[in-house]
Amino acid sequence: MTELILPARAARIDIAPNARANDVLLSLRDVHLSYVDTPVLKGIDLAVRRGEAVSIIGPSGSGKSTILRCINGLIAPQRGEIHVDGIDVRAQKTDPQRIALRKRIGFVFQQYNLFPHLSVLENLTIAPMRVLGRSRAEAESDAHALLAKVRLADKADAHPGALSGGQQQRVAIARTLAMRPDLILFDEVTSALDPETVGEVLNVIGELADEGQTCVLVTHEMRFAEDISDEVFFTEGGVIVEHGRAAQIFGNPSNDRTRLFLQRARGEDRAGRVRRRA
Ligand SMILES: Nc1ncnc2c1ncn2[C@@H]1O[C@H](COP(=O)(O)OP(=O)(O)O)[C@@H](O)[C@H]1O
Ligand SMILES: [Mg+2]
């Protein structure tokens, strides 16, 4: 559990200039996926409107990461439909098609995977220059603005190894933003961090959500999910057990499984807070 202290907002960057409010950007319909004989997703339905922040919560092994990996085409479900901004994800079978899709979908993982031999600035400019064809001047000016946004303006010349985990994760978020994705998927991006650095990463993600960056978050930070999500999906055993507005899911879940999960998660939150104070 991390207290969210939202500091004064950094310079605003227009993330989604063509955003049209309230239309569906991402949809999954009856998505099924098995590994060999083991069913992992058993009919997932999910929709995210442009500008929304949606969280997926649920026990470990319930299929949350698998859902995200299906959305950006990293793995292919056997059945169902996935659309991102009208693109049929399952129909993108050639490399150029998949690259085009992944340009539009950012993915931030628990492991930040920065290039260790490149400076922070170079980590941010390499893909925009090579993949989007930006000039160096343009990519660098954008990178500096994004570093200011994630409050790392003074770290442009540092190498990732000199930064804390929370700082590296903020660089990874800036790197994702540099591609101007329509949609960002966050998969437990604070799980590997020292507790002291979790808040600074959640603050950055919270600001992006406030600014209308469409995102899907898998997170164990329940207070955070409650604070920033428009809609919350609770998964267990490869199905969506319940979904609804954040206030309803956290305040008055209608399913006993959701209720039990939240009770346990909140118990762990409290234990974590005590441990951190000690
Ligand atoms: N490559 C794989 N091969 C076989 N089973 C897998 C593979 N990846 C994930 N699984 C299984 O799929 C289920 C869902 O995994 P995952 O989506 O990672 O869950 P979560 O992110 O909710 O913890 C788990 O039971 C996991 O063991
Ligand atoms: Mg996972």
Domain ranges of the chain: 24-107+183-277
Position 117 confidence tier, pLDDT thresholds 50, 70, 90: very high
- Tell me if 44 CB under 6 Å of ligand 1: no
Task: Report how far ligand 2's centroid is from the alpha carbon of 65 (Å).
Answer: 4
For the CA of 187, the nearest atom of ligand 1 = 21
Angle (CA) 140-128-189 rounded to 5° is 95
List residues bridging with 88 in a β-sheet: 83
Q: What pLDDT is recorded for position 269? A: 64
> What is the spatial distance between Cα 89 and Cα 100, in angstroms, rounded to a whole number?
11
Task: Report how far ligand 1's centroid is from the alpha carbon of 66 (Å).
Answer: 6
**Across 33-48, average pLDDT:** 96
Q: Does residue 257 surpass a pLDDT of 60?
A: yes
- Tell me if 40 CB under 6 Å of ligand 1: yes
**Across 31-48, average pLDDT:** 96
SS3 (DSSP) at 28: strand
Position 267 confidence tier, pLDDT thresholds 50, 70, 90: confident
> Do residues 46 and 233 touch, judged by C-beta distance below 8 A?
yes
Q: Does residue 18 surpass a pLDDT of 80?
A: no
pLDDT in tens, 125-177: 999 999 999 999 999 999 999 999 999 999 999 999 999 999 999 999 999 99
**Across 257-261, average pLDDT:** 96
- Tell me if 219 CB under 6 Å of ligand 1: no
> Which is more confidently placed, 259 or 276?
259
- Tell me if 72 CB under 6 Å of ligand 1: no
> What is the spatial distance between Cα 240 and Cα 66, in angstroms, rounded to a whole number?
13
> If you ran DSSP here, which 8-state letter would residue 135 be given?
-
- Tell me if 63 CB under 6 Å of ligand 1: yes
Can you list the alpha helix ranges (DSSP code H) found in the chain?
A: 64-71, 95-104, 120-130, 136-149, 165-177, 195-210, 222-228, 246-251, 256-277
Mean pLDDT of the chain: 90
> If you ran DSSP here, which 8-state letter would residue 90 be given?
G
> What is the spatial distance between Cα 93 and Cα 228, in angstroms, rounded to a whole number?
34
pLDDT in tens, 207-241: 999 999 999 999 999 999 999 999 999 999 999 99
Report pTM: 0.90
Q: What pLDDT is recorded for position 12? A: 41
**Across 8-18, average pLDDT:** 42
Q: What pLDDT is recorded for position 120? A: 98
CA nearest ligand 1 atom 24, residue? 61
Q: Does residue 2 surpass a pLDDT of 50?
A: no
Task: Report how far ligand 2's centroid is from the alpha carbon of 173 (Å).
Answer: 18
**Helix orientation angle between 165-177 and 195-210, rounded to the nearest 10 degrees:** 20
Domain 24-107+183-277 has CATH 3.40.50.300: yes
- Tell me if 274 CB under 6 Å of ligand 1: no
Task: Report how far ligand 1's centroid is from the alpha carbon of 72 (Å).
Answer: 16
- Tell me if 65 CB under 6 Å of ligand 1: yes
> Do residues 229 and 53 touch, judged by C-beta distance below 8 A?
yes
> Do residues 126 and 118 touch, judged by C-beta distance below 8 A?
yes
pLDDT in tens, 68-101: 999 999 999 999 999 999 999 999 999 899 889 9
Cα–Cα distance list, 55 to 47, 206, 250, 257 (Å): 11, 12, 12, 17
Best residue for ligand 1 mutational test, from 40, 41, 70 (most atoms within 8 Å of Cβ):
40
Q: What pLDDT is recorded for position 6? A: 37
For the CA of 66, the nearest atom of ligand 1 = 17
